[in-house]
Amino acid sequence: MPNSSSISEFLLLALADTRQLQLLHFWLLLGIYLAALLGNGLISTAVACDHRLHTPMYFFLLNLALLDLGCISTTLPKAMANALRDTRAISHAGCAAQVFFFLFLLSAEYSLLTIMAYDRYVAICKPLHYRTLISFRACATMAAAAWGAGVLNSLLHTATVFSLPLCQGNAVDQFFCEIPHILKLSCSDTYFREVGFTVLSAFAFFGCFVFILFSYVQIFRAVLRMPSEQGRHKAFSTCLPHLAVVSLFLSTAFFAYLKPPSISSPSLNLVVSFLYSAMPPAVNPFVYSMRNQELKGALWKLMTKCIWKAMNSSYLCM
């Protein structure tokens, strides 16, 4: 019985059957990837360069943008390269690395979204204690905990999955390496060891979901009791983008992993996995900047500064 180390490469799911459609998918993925790079790159640069955005909320937003950049860079470049070269292959080491980094970044992002819900809860429900509870040291500690939890969770799952013997071939029914599809290739009783880790992760995932839900129930109760309409508007403008990002993250992930087997198909699985792995990193920057006047002002200042420097450089070269 061969084990996973005897497999030199895996075969990913092809995005299309014809060469024309493969090239079309390449350009589509390239556009989404560039949009994610531009959006998250601008937010990261604006938060880092504008001293007015050096607050806990934007510190967490900077971390979220970095996680989004890493998450989409783990899956899309390989899919684009395979579509361009008309191949499905990914090396064993490349597949293991893709599983590790995707799960690490996804777990860290969900932990960070939970922390951001706590930040908004303290800011709106306990404003007098905000500077004490959400100090710079506390922010750094919580962000480090989110990244560390992602590393630990991913390390446990990746080490377990790639130690399983695989005897069902090497074709992964997904456009990137993902644990549920690799487990389908296993034929070992140790498969249940990974199931145990998955159950523990599911409990942690559900605990974070309950915490986010509880936080927003308290937030909306506090906002509705505010006497000032301007105060309610400001509170909603800071909470609604985060709530939209959490809803997009949870709805796509829940549907991807909990959809009924009766409606499962390779094409539907491909669309759903694309929605939860590629779309959130591309959409999140626009969601956060849409209603945030401070962030839009910092982005406008950054872009005008870059344009001004480019115009001066071109003028000097003439």
- What domain range includes position 104? 4-317
Cβ neighbours for 213, distance < 8 A, ≥ 6 positions apart: none
* Predicted structure pTM score: 0.87
Name the burial class of residue 271, with classes exposed (0-12), middle (13-18) and buried (19+) by CB atoms within 10 angstroms of its CB.
Answer: exposed
Q: Quote the number of domains for the chain.
A: 1
**Cα–Cα distance for residue pair 20/116, rounded to 1 Å:** 43
pLDDT at 262: 64
Closest by CA position to 181, among listed 99, 75, 261: 99
Dihedral of alpha carbons 305, 306, 309, 311, sign:
negative
Q: What is the pLDDT of residue 108?
A: 95
For position 292, what pLDDT does the model report? 75
- The alpha carbon torsion through 83, 104, 58, 62 (nearest 10 deg) reads -50
What confidence score (pLDDT) does residue 1 get? 41
Alpha carbons 200 and 218: distance in angstroms, whole number:
27
Residue with tokens 């006047």: 293
Segment 264-288, tens digit of pLDDT: 666 777 777 788 888 888 888 888 8
DSSP structure class, residue 9: E
Quote the DSSP letter at residue 278. Answer: T
CATH number of the domain enclosing 305: 1.20.1070.10
- Low-confidence stretches of the chain (pLDDT beneath 50): 1-2
pLDDT given for residue 74 in this prediction? 94
* Cα first-last separation, the chain: 69
Rounded CA-CA distance 30/76 in Å is: 8
Neighbours of 47 (CB within 10 A): 23
Q: How far is residue 52's CA from residue 60's CA, in Å, rounded to a whole number?
A: 15
Question: Tens of pLDDT along 186-204?
Answer: 776 555 665 666 677 777 8
